[in-house]
């Protein structure tokens, strides 16, 4: 059973939830399938027009030779690293200490693929060019996550990315992009997806972060790489007879939101400023580089939760669905902006932050 989360329940009750693009409800699917002809053939074990068309479309968008649809990024990324490891005959792969594979996948990469991660950089900062330059281990692949989600969604300068890519090419290290939030970072870089992906040998993107779909992922790269990834998809149990519930919805929400990321990014900058004006709150990064950031509070979770519950009730504004404890005197939460933000009347939002600041001052 899921543990009760009072702040999530309260958030879902507010007339003005601030984050995300909508509730995780069945409506997501119903909307995506509204215009779909019932006679449309299912994909069958990775074949058929429905899956092949979407894969071709995403390959073109990402500027890669081929793309393969996966039920999850967890599956797609373990497989990407395994393929590069096998190709280079090296068991080591490098990534950030807070990489999804390291902290959210129950060690699938180690338990299923017996790969050995080399953790680059400190937990609280990005991987730099010199981290890669100073790496002593002989790795098959370096995984970079753009943005680095667990530190609030930070990004290296594009020039540094280019330098890292060049260094990897020289050293014979494959470069893989964890692009779970790739669409979201394009406005900051002022680049197309293909321009960013050109620096990488393989790329994963997700359809349920900023895109707001139901689930699903694309893994893209050269033809030999993607063909091998299909074999591993079968081995992992991801080559379902029908993946169309996720493909149709991914395509629908991709079309609906791929052009909206600059708006969500602007919303994040505006909202971060409101947070940073509150006593004891600080966003990370201070100025967001995409539609997400973290808010750190110098009070305990136990203190902040009831304060937020009151605030939601008094203002109708739902700020976050979750608060994470750091220690006895601090906590943080993630903010990710989507379609909902612009529906919130600005005066209401400003009033809510004024009240939030009063409450925070009161507990000091």
Give the residues lining the site for its own copies (CB under 8 A): 1-2, 23-30, 33, 36-42, 44, 47-48, 52, 70-76, 78, 105-108, 111-113, 208, 214-215, 231-232, 234-246, 248
Residue 173: C-alpha distances to residues 134, 155, 182 (Å): 14, 21, 21
Q: Measured from the CB of residue 283, what is the shortest distance to its own copies in angstroms?
A: 25
Nearer to its own copies, 168 or 180 (CB): 180
CB nearer to its own copies: pick between 200 and 232: 232
Nearest approach, Cβ of residue 72 and its own copies (Å): 4
Q: How far apart are alpha carbons 90 and 177 in whole angstroms? A: 19
Give the start-end residues of each E strand in 59-191. Answer: 66-70, 92-95, 116-119, 141-145, 174-179
Closest CB to its own copies among residues 51, 151? 51
Indicate the Cα dihedral angle 11, 15, 19, 24, nearest 10°.
70
For its own copies, which is the closer residue by CB, 181 or 359? 181
Shortest approach of its own copies to residue 254 CB, angstroms? Answer: 16
Q: What's the DSSP call for residue 343? A: G
Beta carbon of residue 34, minimum distance to its own copies (angstroms, whole number): 10
**How many Å apart are CA 101 and CA 116, to the nearest integer?**
11
Which residue, 113 or 149, has its beta carbon nearer to its own copies? 113
Q: Which is nearer to its own copies, 3 or 134 (CB)?
A: 3
Closest approach, Cβ 326 to its own copies, in A, equals 22
CB of 259 to its own copies, least distance (A): 24
Give the Å distances, CA to CA, from 92 to 95, 121, 123, 310. 10, 16, 19, 49
Q: What is the DSSP string of 245-292?
A: HHHHHHHHHHHHHTT-HHHHHHHHHHHHHHHHTSTTEEEESSS-SSSE
Give the residue with the Cβ less far from its own copies, 87 or 351: 87
- Asked if 318 and 248 touch (Cβ cutoff 8 Å), the reply is no
What is the closest distance, in whole angstroms, from the C-beta atom of residue 95 to its own copies in the complex?
17
Nearer to its own copies, 239 or 351 (CB): 239
**Minimum separation from the CB atom of position 111 to its own copies (A):** 6
Beta strand 281-284 with 292-297 is antiparallel
Closest CA to 142 of 228, 183, 200, 204: 200
Q: What are phi and psi of 11, to 5 degrees?
A: -55, -45
CB of 208 to its own copies, least distance (A): 6
Whether the bond between 167 and the residue before it is cis, its omega within 30 degrees of 0, is no
The angle that helices 223-236 and 73-88 make with each other, rounded to 10 degrees, is 120
Residue whose CB is less far from its own copies, 55 or 283: 55
Unique residue bearing structure tokens 């299923």 = 112
């Amino acid at each position: 059973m899921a543990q009760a989360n009072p702040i999530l329940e309260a958030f879902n009750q507010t007339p003005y939830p601030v984050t995300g693009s909508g509730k995780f409800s069945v409506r997501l699917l119903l909307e995506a399938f509204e215009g779909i002809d019932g006679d449309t053939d299912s994909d069958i074990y990775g074949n058929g027009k429905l899956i092949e068309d979407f894969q071709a479309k995403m390959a073109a968008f990402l500027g890669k030779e081929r793309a393969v649809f996966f039920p999850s990024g967890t599956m797609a990324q373990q497989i990407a690293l395994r393929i590069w490891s096998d190709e280079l005959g090296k068991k080591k792969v490098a990534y950030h200490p807070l990489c999804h594979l390291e902290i959210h996948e129950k060690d699938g990469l180690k338990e299923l693929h017996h790969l050995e991660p080399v953790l680059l950089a400190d937990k609280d900062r990005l991987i730099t060019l010199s981290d890669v330059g100073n790496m002593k281990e002989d790795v098959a692949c370096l995984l970079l996550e753009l943005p680095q989600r667990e530190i609030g969604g930070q990004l290296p300068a594009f020039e540094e990315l280019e330098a890292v890519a060049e260094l990897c090419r020289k050293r014979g290290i494959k470069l893989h992009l964890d692009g779970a939030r790739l669409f979201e970072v394009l406005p900051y870089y002022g680049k197309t997806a293909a321009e960013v992906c050109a620096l990488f040998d393989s790329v994963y993107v997700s359809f349920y972060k900023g895109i707001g779909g139901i689930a699903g992922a694309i893994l893209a790269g050269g033809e030999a790489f993607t063909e091998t990834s299909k074999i591993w998809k079968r081995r992992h149990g991801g080559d379902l007879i029908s993946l169309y519930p996720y493909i149709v919805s991914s395509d629908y929400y991709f079309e609906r939101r791929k052009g909206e990321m600059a708006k969500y990014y602007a919303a994040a900058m505006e909202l971060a400023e409101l947070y940073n004006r509150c006593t004891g709150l600080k966003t990370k990064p201070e100025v967001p580089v995409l539609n997400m950031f973290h808010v750190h509070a110098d009070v305990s979770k136990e203190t902040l939760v009831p304060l937020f519950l009151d605030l939601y009730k008094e203002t109708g504004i739902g700020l976050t669905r979750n608060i994470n404890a750091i220690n006895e005197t601090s906590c943080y939460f993630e903010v990710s902006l989507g379609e909902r933000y612009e529906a919130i009347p600005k005066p209401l939002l400003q009033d809510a932050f004024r009240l939030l600041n009063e409450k925070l001052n009161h507990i000091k």
